[in-house]
């Protein structure tokens, strides 16, 4: 019976995980289409401002949600008040987000110029704050849809946000003025449309569902995860700021684009985690360890496939979306360095599920910032050793995720749950770590890369065919 349960849930993992990935792939595909037009319209410095603005709203959307997203999903599945109580948390969290975003926006004249190294476009950074508020509300809403298996609603809202923002921004730049602030305002408008739609689609609840006690409980679990969740985005901001101070706004925008490209496999892995985490929560205690071990094999094969595909396509894709004004070899180098972190992220996820299931998130408020600090120190150390290669700043990304994987393993060992056997997944993850490095060092042509990727992934699939057969 346990094996049948694992198979059934495995189908949920792969099927709904693939569907969730659409909401993650959509922004990537939109960027592939929009970014070349924006870089050509705004130039290197103009895109530098846009790149920093994108980093700001990615960071801000995490901070302003107060960590309630994970708490809401968990609450809807295992708490006594269920979906009604979790939905009430969404509305209360949205109110707090709007107030917090208004305060941050009021102080843009103080922090904006410093972030853009004195650029006259600092006032345009108010729009990323608006985007951060909207995306934060959208994330809170999606946490409900994830918990109640409204996968199509989750995905549709994610795709609306991904498509509407860039489309409106591009139209605004084309119709009015080719300025970074105009494009960022269009992004904010699209993100706001998606967040309002998400609020409208929330389940109906009675007024009695609103509880300050449950809000306090949600914040008690969620707030410690804010430093945990925000550190990754903050790491990108710090690395981009270092590149900006070291070599100008154009270099900062170039590194932001490189980190965005390099994180694409991790974004898709995170999308599958939207399916993986609820499935782990729903397992019986007796079956959970076996399910985690088996699903980790499938996730590891996914990681290898994503990394191999990335290594094959990174150079032509980077040249296309960056255009001749922004692209140089450092962009490809930084992207491949960042991509190395994908396998390390998988090691982090398999253990952190148990930490969130137990609700012991307090330690994350210390462990994740520590990982971020180590990552920044490593990146700056690499830059000091190779100052002629600012792309080495990207080394901070795999260092961060490597530290996170170690912390997650340690924290999971303190939850009381049995450790997850992952020995069968390690060869696949080792290959996923090695491929970007080999691509970087050997620089083979596209055909050789494609053939090698097919051979590696195909061989790995054959070696793990028993796992795949059980997850059909």
- The string of DSSP codes covering 342-365 is HHHHHHHHHHHHHHHHHT--TTHH
Euclidean distance between CA atoms 47 and 254, whole angstroms: 9
Percentage of the chain beyond pLDDT 90 is: 26
Cβ contacts of 59 within 8 Å, gap of 6 or more: 132, 230, 233, 234, 236, 237
The answer to whether the beta carbons of residues 31 and 260 sit under 8 Å apart is yes
Inform me whether the pLDDT recorded for 6 exceeds 50.
no
Band of pLDDT at residue 467, cut at 50, 70 and 90: low
Q: Is 296 exposed, middle or buried (0-12, 13-18, 19+ CB in 10 A)?
A: buried
Inform me whether the pLDDT recorded for 101 exceeds 70.
yes
Inform me whether the pLDDT recorded for 66 exceeds 60.
yes
Band of pLDDT at residue 7, cut at 50, 70 and 90: very low
Q: Give the pLDDT of residue 431.
A: 92
pLDDT in tens, 242-301: 888 877 777 777 888 889 889 889 988 887 887 787 778 778 888 888 888 888 988 998
Band of pLDDT at residue 381, cut at 50, 70 and 90: very high
Q: Give the pLDDT of residue 466.
A: 64
pLDDT in tens, 155-181: 889 889 888 888 898 888 888 877 888
Radius of gyration of the chain (CA): 21
Q: Give the pLDDT of residue 410.
A: 93
- In which residue are the tokens 């925008």 written? 253
Q: Give the pLDDT of residue 468.
A: 56
Band of pLDDT at residue 1, cut at 50, 70 and 90: very low
Q: Give the pLDDT of residue 69.
A: 82
Arithmetic mean of pLDDT over the chain: 82
In order, the DSSP letters of 282-344 are HS-HHHHHHHHHHHHHHHHHHHHHHHHHHHHHHHHHHHHHHHHHH--HHHHHHHHHHHTHHHH
pLDDT in tens, 210-221: 877 777 777 777
Inform me whether the pLDDT recorded for 10 exceeds 70.
no
Inform me whether the pLDDT recorded for 372 exceeds 90.
yes
pTM beyond 0.75: no
Inform me whether the pLDDT recorded for 122 exceeds 80.
no
Q: Give the pLDDT of residue 403.
A: 96
The mean pLDDT of 12-34, rounded to a whole number, is: 65
Q: Give the pLDDT of residue 16.
A: 61
The mean pLDDT of 174-195, rounded to a whole number, is: 89
Higher pLDDT, 46 or 94: 94
Q: Give the pLDDT of residue 38.
A: 77
Higher pLDDT, 52 or 436: 436
Band of pLDDT at residue 26, cut at 50, 70 and 90: low
pLDDT in tens, 295-345: 898 899 889 999 999 999 888 888 877 776 677 788 889 999 999 999 999
Inform me whether the pLDDT recorded for 99 exceeds 80.
yes
């Amino acid at each position: 019976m346990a094996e049948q349960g694992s198979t059934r849930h495995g189908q949920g993992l792969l099927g709904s995980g693939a569907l969730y990935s659409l909401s993650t792939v959509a922004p990537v595909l939109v960027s592939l289409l929009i970014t070349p037009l924006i870089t050509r319209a705004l130039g290197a410095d103009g895109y530098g401002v846009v790149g920093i603005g994108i980093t700001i709203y990615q960071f801000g959307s995490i901070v302003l949600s107060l960590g309630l997203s994970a708490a809401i999903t968990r609450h809807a599945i295992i708490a006594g008040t269920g979906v009604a109580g979790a939905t009430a948390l969404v509305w209360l969290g949205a109110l707090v987000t709007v107030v917090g975003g208004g305060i941050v926006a009021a102080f843009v004249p103080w922090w904006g110029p410093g972030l853009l190294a004195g650029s006259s476009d600092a006032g345009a950074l108010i729009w990323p704050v608006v985007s951060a508020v909207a995306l934060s509300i959208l994330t809170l809403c999606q946490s409900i849809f994830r918990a109640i298996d409204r996968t199509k609603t989750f995905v549709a809202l994610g795709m609306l946000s991904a498509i509407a923002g860039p489309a409106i921004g591009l139209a605004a730049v084309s119709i009015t003025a080719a300025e970074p602030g105009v494009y960022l305002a269009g992004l904010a408008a699209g993100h706001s449309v998606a967040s309002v739609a998400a609020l409208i689609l929330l389940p109906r609840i009675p007024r009695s569902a609103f509880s300050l006690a449950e809000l306090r409980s949600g914040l008690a679990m969620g707030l410690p995860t804010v430093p945990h969740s925000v550190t990754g985005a903050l790491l990108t901001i710090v690395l981009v700021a270092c590149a900006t101070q070291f070599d100008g706004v154009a270099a900062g925008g170039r590194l932001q684009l490189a980190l965005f490209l390099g994180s694409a496999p991790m974004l898709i892995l995170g999308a599958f985690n939207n399916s993986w985490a609820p499935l782990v929560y729903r397992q019986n205690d007796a079956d959970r360890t076996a399910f985690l071990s088996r699903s980790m094999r499938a996730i590891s094969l996914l990681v290898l496939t994503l990394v191999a595909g990335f290594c094959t396509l990174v150079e032509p894709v980077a040249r296309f979306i960056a255009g001749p004004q922004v692209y140089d070899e450092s962009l490809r180098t930084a992207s491949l360095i960042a991509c190395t972190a994908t396998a390390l992220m998988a090691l982090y996820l398999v253990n952190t599920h148990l930490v969130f299931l137990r609700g012991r998130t307090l330690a994350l408020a210390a462990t994740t910032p520590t990982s971020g600090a180590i990552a920044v120190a490593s990146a700056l150390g690499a830059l000091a050793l190779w100052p002629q290669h600012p792309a080495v700043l990207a080394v901070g990304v795999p260092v961060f995720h490597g530290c996170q994987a170690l912390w997650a393993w340690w924290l999971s060992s303190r939850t009381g749950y049995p450790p997850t056997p992952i020995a069968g997944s390690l060869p696949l993850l080792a290959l996923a770590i090695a491929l970007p490095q080999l691509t970087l060092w050997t620089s083979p042509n596209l055909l050789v890369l494609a053939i090698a990727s097919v051979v590696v992934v195909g061989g790995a699939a054959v070696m793990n065919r028993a796992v795949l057969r059980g997850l059909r």
